[in-house]
Amino acid sequence: MNREENIKQIQDSSKVWDIAVIGGGSSGLGVALDAISRGMSVVLLEKADFAKGTSSRSTKLVHGGVRYLAQGDVMLVLEALKERGKLLKNAPHLAHDQPFIIPIYTWFDRIQYSVGLKLYDWMSGRLSLGKSTFISKKETIKRLPAVLQKGLMGGVVYHDGQFDDARLALDIAQTADEAGACILNYTKVNNLEKDSSGKITGLKIQDLLTRKKHIIQAKMVVNATGVFADKILQMDNPEAPKMIQPSQGIHLVMDLDFLGGSDALMIPKTRDGRVLFAVPWHGKLVVGTTDTLREKPKLEPEALQKEIDFVLETAGGYLTRKPTRADIKAVFAGLRPLARPQEGSTKTKEISRSHKVIVSESGLVTLTGGKWTTFRKMGEDTVDHFQQVTGEKPGASTSLDMKIHGYSKQLQKGHWQLYGSDALAIQALAKEEPKLAEKLHPDFPNIAAEVIWAVRNEMAVKVEDILSRRIRILILDAQAAIETAEKVAQLMAIELHKDQVWISQEIQDFNKVAEKYLIRK
């Protein structure tokens, strides 16, 4: 994926793209992937980095949603289970089966979760990841050594998928790019272009690295900007009522031994009626999440003290060693783009999490809601509106079976697995230049060659692109990320021909962001 090459493509103002997508999170990337699978011409514009928004801040589950099943949203669960199964087949380097254990303390819970999860298995049909079973108290303690044992009767084990969200976004971007899409990060949509009848004909965009402005033409424009969707809707119609209600969810990251083992813990009902997960991920334990209404959309939302206390207290209620603020390696927050509730209501969890596609009078197609797991289906449903907007029939979608960039049947172990078929090429860089085999930080397996690779092939342009999304040190251990920033900046500067001023500015910019992921003790 080469940014300069792609910038050249948008300089041709006479070109009319079939689809222009605003937003490089899971929703926008799903649209680009599906459109390219139908042989359409596609341009995708992301104002920051791919998955900089909500799409790098999820719980990292590829799931049908046990919780939505409990709420009776059967269609949503069926759709998500199918997508889950397909994603594990199309991107085995990024998504895998993860067993979850619900600790059982009452007979009622034993019956309700055993029956409910059997139904969940049954609904996943041939794409099931494994059967759910009840396990004894002894077995539960063996698999979750740190779970609270007082009153424990056993556990219910079930299976869901787990993935690396930011890297999947990047690999979808690369899949679409390799198939001919023009994918750009750090390119902002400033406004919509319309003809004399008020129909949308294209976009006014700006390359945020050079500050150069461009106009592009497109037959259909898709607004896939997550919590920022209202801003684009208001570019279309300044009177448009607000559609989106951001709802914040936070995660705390701590050492794996707070749980022990490789199974995840699922707490089906927290004090506020939500689900809480404690999931092993990249050698750490990710614990979350919350559901807190926020007024303003932000690219870097901050966890509230009360959210941190809530997660610590709830998780602590199920663990033998209770985590404290001092144990938190990093905290990250994300915003769900939920449909704004009716006046008077402050509840967000009852609002259906299924996605919606809305077409405005001027032809702006807005995709909202949904979840990471269903990104591809969301894309397909959006591209299905092409005929309604343009009068032209799109080709048939083939994205369901498209292999994602990096797909390989021979996966390496450890963090190399995430690179799939790219792993050997990155290792070759380190062999050519032994300095590139050096670790970036003593506590993490990542090496200098990964930084060079990300700059050359994955459109990384800022230190934060590397430390937050190409490799995930920022959300795994914020202090370690701060300690790594200078090394990363120096490696990038050589590759990008930047000077010392650039290095200092990058470190400063990175530290400002990283501060938000640190917990003040």
Ligand X SMILES: Cc1cc2nc3c(=O)[nH]c(=O)nc-3n(C[C@H](O)[C@H](O)[C@H](O)COP(=O)(O)OP(=O)(O)OC[C@H]3O[C@@H](n4cnc5c(N)ncnc54)[C@H](O)[C@@H]3O)c2cc1C
CB closer to ligand X out of 167 and 371: 371
What is the closest distance, in whole angstroms, from the C-beta atom of residue 338 to ligand X in the complex?
Answer: 9
What is the closest distance, in whole angstroms, from the C-beta atom of residue 7 to ligand X in the complex?
Answer: 15
User: Cβ atoms within 10 A of the Cβ of 267, count?
Assistant: 17
The tokens describing 334, both together, are: 């994300």
What is the closest distance, in whole angstroms, from the C-beta atom of residue 355 to ligand X in the complex?
Answer: 8
What is the closest distance, in whole angstroms, from the C-beta atom of residue 26 to ligand X in the complex?
Answer: 4
Residues of this chain that bind ligand X (CB under 6 A): 22-28, 45-48, 51-55, 57-61, 63, 188-189, 224-228, 249, 289, 299, 334-337, 370-373
What is the closest distance, in whole angstroms, from the C-beta atom of residue 475 to ligand X in the complex?
Answer: 12
The pair phi, psi for residue 170, each rounded to 5°, is -65, -40
CB closer to ligand X out of 48 and 276: 48
* HEC secondary structure over 3-66: HHHHHHHHCCCCCEEEEEEECCCHHHHHHHHHHHHCCCCEEEECCCCCCCCHHHCCCCEECCCH
Among residues 510, 514, 518, 513, the alpha carbon closest in space to that of 462 is found at: 510
CB closer to ligand X out of 27 and 490: 27
- State which H helix or E strand residue 334 sits in: strand 330-339
CA angle in degrees (0–180, nearest 5) for 427-438-167? 55
What is the closest distance, in whole angstroms, from the C-beta atom of residue 188 to ligand X in the complex?
Answer: 4
What is the closest distance, in whole angstroms, from the C-beta atom of residue 55 to ligand X in the complex?
Answer: 3
CB closer to ligand X out of 154 and 379: 379
- State which H helix or E strand residue 176 sits in: helix 165-178
Pairing of strands 276-281, 264-267: antiparallel
What is the closest distance, in whole angstroms, from the C-beta atom of residue 118 to ligand X in the complex?
Answer: 22
Residue nearest ligand X, CB atom distance: 25
Structural contact between residues 149 and 424, judged by C-beta atoms closer than 8 angstroms: no
CB closer to ligand X out of 38 and 57: 57
CB closer to ligand X out of 93 and 469: 469
Q: What is the DSSP letter of 2?
A: -
User: Cβ atoms within 10 A of the Cβ of 109, count?
Assistant: 16
Pairing of strands 364-368, 213-223: parallel
What is the closest distance, in whole angstroms, from the C-beta atom of residue 353 to ligand X in the complex?
Answer: 8
Identity of the residue numbered 115: V
For 455, half-sphere exposure in the C-beta direction (CA atoms, 13 angstrom radius) is 20
Structural contact between residues 203 and 218, judged by C-beta atoms closer than 8 angstroms: yes
What is the closest distance, in whole angstroms, from the C-beta atom of residue 280 to ligand X in the complex?
Answer: 14
Structural contact between residues 231 and 243, judged by C-beta atoms closer than 8 angstroms: no
Residue whose pair of structure tokens reads 């006014």 in the numeric block: 204
For 437, half-sphere exposure in the C-beta direction (CA atoms, 13 angstrom radius) is 8
CB closer to ligand X out of 332 and 453: 332
For 194, half-sphere exposure in the C-beta direction (CA atoms, 13 angstrom radius) is 14
